[in-house]
Amino acid sequence: MDFSNNAQYITVFVLYFAIFIGFGVYQGKKVQNEEDYAIGGRDIPGWAAALSERATGESSWALLGLPGWAYVSGMSCFWVLFGCFIGIAISWAILAFRIRALAEEEDALSFVDLISKLHPSMDGYIRTAGSLVIVFFFFFYIGAQLLGGGKVFNTLFGLSSDVGMLLTVLIIVPYTVYGGFKSVIYTDCIQGFLMVCALALAPILGFFLLESKPDIFAPGVFAALAKAGPEYLNIMGSGEGWAMFAGVMGGFAYFFGYLGGTPQLTMRFMAIKDYKNTIKGRNIGIIWTLVAYFGACSIGWLGIALWGPTGLTDPEAVFPMVMLEFFHPALAALFIVAAFAALISTADSLLVLASTEFSENIMKRFFSKEHNPKKDLFFSRCMTAVMAVLALGAAKVVPSNLIFNIVGYVWSGIGNPFSVIILLTLFWRRFSSKAAFAVICTGMPFTIFWIMSGLDTKIISSLFMTFFVCLIVGVVGSFIWPQRNEVPDRELVFLNKETATNTKTATSKA
C-alpha cells in the first residue's frame, strides 16, 4: 500500500471523525439530567430512532460479520438474512408502539427498569439478575465491536489489531461519556445513513466492475458460486438431514432476538416521542433492513468472485478488501468508514446501556441511597468510562476472533431470554413475575453450557435452543408459581392509537 493511498485514507478518517465527534459533543451539551443521559429525555423523533436502531442493531456484524459469513457459506446465508428481516419487521410493526407506551406509562429509564416495573413483586431480584446478565454479555458484545475496529485498522493501515482496538476506544469514549444516549442517537443517524449507502452502492458498482477485473476467480457472482462448489449455490447449505435442518434453523434463529429482547434496540422504542413517530420509524427501519442485508450478502459473494472461497485468510476482511479492490482510495476509505461507523454505533450504545443498567440497578440500589441530579449524571459518565476500559480487556479474552460467532453467543444469552419475557408479558395474562425471574436465571447459564459443551456445533445453535428452553421455563414456571400478570389492563394503551400517542395525557384524564 503506497504512501499516497495511506494519506488519502488518513484524510478521510480524520475528517469524518472530527465532524462526528464534534457533533456528538454538541448534542451532549443538551444533556441536563440523568433522564437525558439514559433515554434522551424520551423525546426522540421516529426517523432518528429508526436510523439509530438499525445502526446499533447491525454493528460490525452486518458490515464485517455477515459479509464474511456470505463469503464462507454462499447462498445459505439467506436464512440469516430472512430471520433477521422478519424479526425486525415484527418488532417495529407489532412491538415498538406497545413498548414505547408502557415505558412512558411506567416512567422507565432503562430496559431492566421497564421489566422490573412490569413485575413489581420481583422488582429487586429482576433488577439485580437482569443487570448482571446484561453487563456480563455486553462486555463481550462491546469486545466484538472493538475487535471489528482492530480489523478495519489492520486492513486499511496495516496496524496491529491491538493498536486498532485501542484507537477505536479512544474515538468512542469522549462523546459517549459526555453526551450519553442523546449523543449516541444522533451520531448513529450519521452512521446509519452512511452504512446503508455503502451497502447499497458498493454491490451495484461491484457487479458492473467485476467483469473488467483481470485474474479473478470468476467473472460473475453466480459463476463464482457454481465454481466454488455445489454447497455454495445451494440455499439449504452443504449438510443433509438433521445437519441441514440445524444449519437453516441456526441462521434463522436470529429472528428470536429481535422480538423485544435486545436491550440496546428496545431502548430506541422506549425513547420515541409518540405513536406517530413510531410509525415513521417502522417504515424507515424496515426499508433500511431490506436494502442493507441484501447488500451485505452481495459483498461476500463478490469476494468469492474475486478471490475464490479460500483466497482470504480472514473471511471477515472481505468487506474492506472488496472496497479497496474496486474503488478509488478516497471512496474506498469512505465506504470502510461505514464499517467503522457500524461498530462504533453499537459500541457506544452498549456502553451507555450497560453503565446505566449497572449504576441504576446495582450501584445506586446497594451503595448510594441519596440522589442528586448533578452527582447522578457525573456518576453515570464515570461508569461509562469504566465500562469502556473493562470492555477493552474483554476483547482480549473473547472466546472467538469471528465477530459473527461472538454476536451469536451474546444474542443467545441476552436476546432470547429477554424476548421471551417481553412477549409473555405483553401477550399472556398468566405469565408470573417469578417465572420472569426464572427465565433470566436460565438464559445465561444455559447458553454458556450449550456452547462450552460443543452442542452448539454438534446438534443445533444456541440461538435456537435458548429461546425455546426459556419459553418452556416461562410457561411452566407460571403454572408452578401461579400469579396473574401484574401488568394492568392497558389494552387501550396498546390498541387505541390516540391513547398510544400520548399515554400520560390519557392516564391523567382517566
Query: How far, in whole angstroms, is CA 345 from its chain's centroid?
Result: 9
Q: Which of 272-281, 384-393, 477-486 has the lowest mean pLDDT?
A: 384-393
Contact at 8 Å (CB) between 99 and 121? no
Cα 231 from Cα 225, distance rounded (Å)? 9
Give the per-residue pLDDT at 507: 39
Cα 133 from Cα 139, distance rounded (Å)? 10
Please, what is the end-to-end C-alpha distance for the chain in angstroms? 68
Q: What percent of the chain has pLDDT over 90?
A: 19
Cα 426 from Cα 447, distance rounded (Å)? 24
Q: What is the 3-state secondary structure (H, E, C) of 168-232?
A: HHHHHHHHHHHHHHHHHHHHHHHHHHHHHHHHHHHHHHHHHHHCCCCCCCCCCHHHHHHHHCHHH
Q: pLDDT grade, residue 179 (50/70/90)? A: low
> Does residue 374 have a pLDDT over 70?
no
Q: pLDDT grade, residue 467 (50/70/90)? A: very high
Report, as an integer, the average pLDDT of 177-205.
78
Q: Which of 305-319, 366-380, 454-468 has the lowest mean pLDDT?
A: 366-380
Q: Which of 2-6, 65-69, 292-296, 344-348 has the lowest mean pLDDT?
A: 2-6
Which has more confidence, 132 or 370? 132
Cell of 129: 439478575
Contact at 8 Å (CB) between 380 and 34? yes
Query: Which residues lie below 8 Å from residue 507, measured CB to CB, with a gap of 6+?
Result: 105
Element (H, E) at 125: helix 123-157
- Domains annotated for the chain, with CATH where assigned, are 37-509 (1.20.1730.10)
pTM for the predicted model, two decimal places: 0.81
Mean pLDDT of the chain: 79
Which has more confidence, 158 or 306? 306
253 backbone dihedrals φ, ψ, rounded to 5° = -65, -10
User: Which residue in 319, 340, 381, 2 sits closest to 146, CA to CA?
Assistant: 340
Give the per-residue pLDDT at 423: 94
Q: pLDDT grade, residue 298 (50/70/90)? A: very high
Cα 179 from Cα 302, distance rounded (Å)? 39
Which has more confidence, 198 or 23? 198
Tens of pLDDT along 414-439?
A: 889 999 999 999 888 889 999 999 99
Which has more confidence, 405 or 126? 126
Give the per-residue pLDDT at 324: 83
Q: pLDDT grade, residue 180 (50/70/90)? A: low
DSSP 337-362: HHHHHHHHHHHHHHHHHHHHHHIIII
Tens of pLDDT along 216-268?
A: 888 888 888 999 888 898 888 776 777 788 878 888 888 998 898 888 889 88
Q: pLDDT grade, residue 52 (50/70/90)? A: confident
CB neighbours (10 Å) of residue 413? 27
Tens of pLDDT along 90-105?
A: 999 999 999 999 888 8
Give the per-residue pLDDT at 377: 65
Give the per-residue pLDDT at 345: 66
> Does residue 342 have a pLDDT over 70?
no
Give the per-residue pLDDT at 418: 93
Hey, is 109 helix, strand or coil? coil
The residue to which cell 411452566 is assigned? 476
Give the per-residue pLDDT at 354: 75
Q: pLDDT grade, residue 472 (50/70/90)? A: very high
Query: How far, in whole angstroms, is CA 116 from its chain's centroid?
Result: 22
C-alpha distances out from residue 475 to 311, 424, 471, 488, Å: 48, 9, 6, 20
Cα 38 from Cα 130, distance rounded (Å)? 17
Cα 70 from Cα 290, distance rounded (Å)? 16
> Does residue 280 have a pLDDT over 80?
yes
Give the per-residue pLDDT at 150: 80
> Does residue 364 have a pLDDT over 80?
no
